[in-house]
């Protein structure tokens, strides 16, 4: 994801502006639209199109929501 952010901002990792994307906050959002808005706000300083990055990140977050915690095995 960091490499993709570097591509969006057109710079190397050490030159990248401070971009904070709180995955837990995104997971707590009420719906996909709210998540997209939060991501757009985080990427407001990016001059390149961010739609593809946001779409990919939302897809990954959907996958995270489907994961359930590991089940404990009884001995």
Rounded Cα distance between 58 and 36, Å, is 7
Residue 22 dihedral angles phi and psi, to the nearest 5° = -95, 100
Residues 26-47: tens digit of each pLDDT: 988 999 999 999 999 999 888 8
Give residue for tokens 């993709």.
4
**Helix 51-66 and helix 2-9: axis angle, to 10°?**
160
Residue written as tokens 């959002």? 29
Cα–chain-centroid distance for residue 73?
Answer: 33
DSSP 10: T
Report residues of the chain scoring pLDDT below 50: none
- C-alpha 48/C-alpha 60 separation (Å) is 21
């Amino acid at each position: 994801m960091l490499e993709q952010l570097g591509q969006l901002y057109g710079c190397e990792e050490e030159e990248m502006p401070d971009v904070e994307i709180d995955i837990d906050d995104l997971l707590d959002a009420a719906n996909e639209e709210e998540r997209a808005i939060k991501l757009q706000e985080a990427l407001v300083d990016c001059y390149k199109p961010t739609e593809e990055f946001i779409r990919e990140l939302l897809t990954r977050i959907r996958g995270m929501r489907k994961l359930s915690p590991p089940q404990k095995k009884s001995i």
